[in-house]
Amino acid sequence: MQGKLMIFEFHISKVTREKYQFDENLFATDGRVIFADFAAARRFAEKLSAGRGNHVPASDLNAMGLLDEVMHILIRQYEMENPGVMIRATDWLAEKFGEEALDLSLLRFKEEFPSALTPSPLLSPQEAPVFEKGELLEEMLILALENENPGLSAYRELVDDTPLGNTIYSEMLGTLETFFGYEPGYGAGRESLLQILRAPTKASPNSLMGQLEYIVDEWGTMLGGKNKELILRGIDYLAEESIRAPGDGGSDGTAPVPEFFEGDGEYEHFSMDKDWMPQIVLLAKNAYVWLDQLSKQYERDISRLDQIPDEELDVLAQRGFSGLWLIGLWERSRASRRIKQRMGNPEAVASAYSLDDYAIAEDLGGQEALNNLRNRAWQHGIRLAADMVPNHMGIDSRWVIEHPERFLSLATPPYPNYSFNGENLSDDERVGIYLEDHYYDHSDAAVVFRRTDNQKDESTYIYHGNDGTSMPWNDTAQLNFLDPEVRETVIQTILNVAKQFPVIRFDAAMTLAKKHIQRLWYPEPGLGGAIPSRAEQGMSKAEFEAAIPREFWREVVDRVATEAPDTLLLAEAFWLMEGYFVRTLGMHRVYNSAFMHMLRDEDNGGYRQVMKNTLTFDPQVLKRYVNFMNNPDEETAVEQFGKGDKYFGVCTLLATLPGLPMFGHGQVEGFGEKYGMEYRRAYRDEKADTGFMRYHEETISPLLHRRYLFAGVENFLLYHFFNEEGRALDDVFAYSNRAGDEFALIIFHNKFSETSGRVQYSASFAVKAAGDEYLVKRTLVEGLDLVDKKGYVIFRDLVTGLEYIRAIAELAEKGLYVELGAYQRHVFLDFRTVDEEEWKAVAEALNGAGIVSIEAKREEIFKEKEAVDEFVENTTNMIVDKKQPTKKKAKRKLKK
């Protein structure tokens, strides 16, 4: 039977067929329902839903048809191995119950579940009745198995076998159990046919998806490639149905530990940094909210970009920020604003990620105001950054109005129960824009909206933007990246933005990696279920590769490098794609959400593993992480980390680890409000926490101004921290870095407890040289370039202002001993060596303690020593003078 394509059909009781008045086109002449495709299953489900008054998933009915057909195929396969078995089964039943009783049961079945069977042309007319009995028995056997399947209990009325109860039907299954027990076994385990047919139900009694998965795993090869594909699609439809019901979705607030490997299509192709890129420190600001806050702060109207005060730009520069990411600069969708206001925020602007066009918003001053701000910001050493959302546009955007062919759409709604009776969200009389009605009460994911061409009186159904993790972004329209013209149009738009902004952040960039374009929108069989209704548009891997032969992002990076080379490209990319985005696709920087999630949750072992995995794979990836303590989609930094030692400890890591530090809106001021993308103003009347802000400027800003010391990975070492028992402690982060003759050693204890231990040996890291790659470990004295030096090393802690002195020999032998309280940190800088013998006394006097000035202590010790020496010398001289004999006495003494 391999190679014969399945037709999804199963018997439906006559009573049910009459009750629901199903469309006759769905039935064969013999009364069996036939689903030629999934759309037919949808039409059937719609009719059943209307009759029942509740939603019936078409995916369940499709699965029901698949299970029925698989049982037929298994029986056919068994008959090929054991010819005539069903005819012998009818003979067995006739012998047990009598020919008349058997015929009555078969006749009743034909009446309740009509089945007109055509004799095989290979059989003589005399044999036809026997053949028909065998076929009818097969149908009755499958009906009985469907009735005992708990996974089909919701649809029992379709196959209800109650009307057959006063026949031998009710005893038939037990009798056949005995019969097939005598017959040869089937399959690798040589089980009876009934055991085989019941196996999917036994493996997953209450799950149709589980039963189909069992069939694929156990019998996929035997069923043949096309049939296996149909079953995999059935699994996809079930998965899609499960996510039609709205839920919170999105991130669960955790981050996985990335494991790096060179898979198919992965290779090393980093983009080279320009000189300024490694040292940039980015500050995010929600444009509208910030302007409103500045208006209150400076007590004057500041509503345009060119009205942002120079004093404010100077403050940002003094705090160490060299990049300003203004969220929400572009002209936004008017429909998005109306949706946000209708859903409960009368003051809302549109979402910053639902765009009308890539033009600076007129109410922010337009292009002229941006030019003014950009020039003034640069005078303070600040580069401007902008968002791009290449995945989608606003539902009423210029592109949707004028170029609907650029978007993913269908000619008919994907679900029969979809309706579009709400208000027209379009301001353009040429086109009507209508959300699906279920969006407003959140009773369905509502994956498409209707675009009506009023001039042609034609409608298309365009998909909303979607990343498959939650509700669709219902104020957006999804671009069709399968179309090369769309890809080129988006690239041209990116190039235009790159000529205005030296830093571009790509929102949800991972959705446009090839593997996720296919997963979300054109899934392979068995890999669907991310976005409802898209499995029907699925493609094989080969078909998809032919349509998109090259990664979109690789082409973007290469084109920008040629046409706008002084542009830093930053990708918001999750789903374990961080390394791929910078190493293979060539993005300059990529989001590292593990930093925020793991350090907040004190999953210190997890984050150490992130760093260790990165270092052993390729340290250059570590340099390209964007680290942050919050981003616009998360709670603020102080809400997640507080305002105490934990915050400043993690913020110290943010400022001193390789990568790009990104600070959130209001983070330095200690604000706690999370600003939604549709906010025009802050809703909390928060005042800047001056003490928090001052301490930030004293201990964090100096580090940001020295990013040249921390940004690179060529000299970066991550150390193990061993306690006195020799056990490695994951809760302590210790690492060193170097730029020229400057060194830094950072130690932070991210736990509410006390601990102590030594820093001596580094974790392994990958080294590439002369075409070879190997792992290396270093020691602390190597990291601080103390190997060939003698004497002592002096260094200062930025946090406390204290200086320390340690014997280099001790560091080489034992490492640096440190005692740490809860969330305590050290930032050791300004390393210098001394080898004069006199420093030994200083080290012994301090005995490991810190002091404001080591030099002052040395002077103090030696002033005391000089005073003591002078006193001793003077005292000695006085004693000598008193005891010194005269010459005369001496002579007398000598005479004696």
Distance CA 592, CA 628 (A): 8
pTM of the model: 0.88
* pLDDT tier, 258 (very low <50, low <70, confident <90, very high otherwise): low
**136 phi/psi in degrees, rounded to 5:** -65, -40
Which range is least confidently modeled, 108-117, 431-440, 580-589? 108-117
Kindly indicate the confidence band of residue 114, based on its pLDDT and cuts at 50, 70 and 90.
confident
Q: What is the mean pLDDT of the chain?
A: 89
Q: How confident is the model at residue 786 (pLDDT cuts 50, 70, 90)?
A: very high
Shared domain for 336 and 417, answered yes or no, is no
> Above 70 in pLDDT, residue 128?
no
Tell me, what's the pLDDT at 874? 62
How many whole angstroms separate alpha carbon 557 and alpha carbon 578?
16
Q: What angle do CA 104, 107, 108 make, to 5 degrees?
A: 85
How far is 73 from 422, CA to CA, in rounded Å?
Answer: 48
Q: What is the pLDDT of residue 870?
A: 58
How many helices (H) and strands (E) would you count in the chain? Answer: 34, 28
464: which DSSP letter?
P
Distance of CA 519 to the CA centre of its chain: 14
Q: Let me know whether 840 and 868 are in one domain.
A: no
Three-class DSSP category at 230: helix
Q: Retrieve residue 210's tokens.
A: 């589980």
| 701 shares its domain with 780 | no
**Cβ atoms of residues 391 and 508 within 8 Å:** yes
Please report which confidence band the pLDDT of residue 3 belongs to, taking 50, 70 and 90 as the band edges: very low
Specify if 209 maps to a domain.
yes
CA angle 531, 537, 543 (to 5 degrees): 120
11 has pLDDT over 90? no
The Cα 748–Cα 365 span in angstroms is 45
Long-range contacts of 861-867 (CB under 8 A, 24+ apart): 862/838, 865/841
* Closest to 839 measured CA to CA, from 806, 817, 812: 806
**pLDDT number for residue 119:** 39
**Contact yes or no for 808/786 (Cβ under 8 A):** yes
Note whether 795 and 829 are within 8 A (CB). Answer: yes
User: What is the C-alpha to C-alpha distance for residues 538 and 518, in angstroms, rounded to an integer?
Assistant: 8
- Regarding whether 216 and 138 lie in a shared domain, the answer is yes
Assess if residue 786 is contained within a domain.
Answer: yes
On whether both 28 and 66 belong to a single domain, the answer is yes
Who wins on pLDDT, 366 or 188? 366
Domain with 825, as residue range(s), is 714-852
Least confident range from 153-162, 572-581, 756-765: namely 572-581
Domain boundary (451, 478, 505) is at 478
Q: What is the three-class DSSP state of 689? A: coil
Integer Cα distance of 316 and 776 in angstroms? 40
pLDDT in tens, 285-317: 999 999 999 999 999 999 999 999 999 999 999
Q: Residue 212's CB: how many other CB atoms inside 10 A?
A: 26
Tokens of 284: 């995010």
The pLDDT score that the predictor gives to residue 1 is 41
- The residue that leads in pLDDT, 637 or 579, is 637
Q: What is the predicted pLDDT for the residue at 888? A: 44
Q: 296 and 385: one domain?
A: yes
What is the pLDDT confidence band of residue 6, given thresholds at 50, 70 and 90?
low
Last residue of a domain, one of 444, 478, 512: 478
Q: Which of 252-266, 391-405, 483-497 has the lowest mean pLDDT?
A: 252-266
Residues 822 and 690 occupy one common structural domain:
no
> Tokens 């600070």 — which residue?
663
Half-sphere exposure of 626 (CA within 13 A, CB side): 30
> Which tens digit of pLDDT belongs to each residue from 770-779?
778 899 999 9
Distances (CA, A) of 210 to 193, 236, 372, 532: 21, 12, 61, 19
Query: Is residue 840 domain-shared with residue 811, that is, in the same domain?
Result: yes
Cβ 89 vs Cβ 137: under 8 Å: yes
User: CA 376, CA 660: separation in Å to the nearest integer?
Assistant: 23
Q: What is the pLDDT of residue 192?
A: 93
Dist. CA 187–CA 881, nearest whole Å: 118
Q: Are residues 806 and 706 in the same domain?
A: no
Q: How far is the C-alpha of 25 from the C-alpha of 129, rounded, in Å? A: 29
Contacts of 861 (CB under 8 A, 6+ apart): 841, 842, 845
What is the distance between the alpha carbons of residues 775 and 391, in angstroms, rounded to a whole number?
Answer: 39
What are 737-771's pLDDT values in tens digits?
A: 999 999 999 999 999 999 999 999 999 999 988 77
In a domain, 2, yes or no: no
Q: Residue 732 class from Cβ within 10 Å (0-12 exposed, 13-18 middle, 19+ buried)?
A: buried
Q: Tell me which of 265-279, 283-297, 572-586, 875-889 is least confident.
A: 875-889
pLDDT given at position 247:
52
> How do the residues of the chain divide into helix, strand and coil, expressed in percent and rounded to 5?
45, 15, 40
CATH number at residue 617: 3.20.20.80
502 part of a folded domain = no
Classify residue 108: in a domain, yes or no.
yes
pLDDT at 125: 37
Is 536 within a domain?
A: no
Output the CA torsion sign for 774, 777, 783, 789: negative
Average pLDDT over residues 814-838: 95
Kindly tell me if the per-residue pLDDT of 131 is higher than 80. no
Length of the chain: 896
- 55-105 pLDDT, tens digit each: 899 999 999 999 999 999 999 999 999 999 999 999 999 999 999 999 999
Write out the two tokens for 718.
Answer: 């991550």
**Between 33 and 884, where is the model more confident?**
33
Q: Which of 652, 680, 712 is the last residue of a domain?
A: 712
Same domain, 315 and 372: yes
User: Which residue intervals of 204-281 are DSSP H helices?
Assistant: 208-223, 225-242
The span from the CA of 223 to the CA of 3, in Å, is: 7
- How many CA atoms are closer than 13 Å to the CA of 100, on its beta-carbon side? 0
Q: Could you read off the pLDDT of 208-238 as tens digits, one per residue?
A: 999 999 999 999 888 888 889 999 999 999 9
In a domain, 370, yes or no: yes
Question: Over the stretch 419-441, which tens digit does the pLDDT of each residue have?
Answer: 999 999 999 999 999 999 988 88
3-state secondary structure 518-548: HHHHCCCCCCCCCCCCCHHHCCCHHHHHHHC
487 lies in some domain: no
pLDDT number for residue 875: 63
612 membership: H or E segment, kind and range: helix 604-617
Q: Is 345 in the same domain as 469?
A: no
Overall number of domains in the chain:
5
First to last CA, the chain: 137
The answer for 494, left when phi > 0, alpha when psi is -120 to 50, beta otherwise, is alpha
Is the domain of 29 the same as that of 156?
A: yes
Residue 882, pLDDT score: 56
* 315 contacts: CB under 8 Å, gap ≥ 6: none
CATH of the domain at 777: 2.60.40.1180
The predicted pLDDT at position 71 comes to 93
Given this model, what pLDDT does residue 782 score? 97
Average pLDDT for residues 191-211, to the nearest whole number? 95
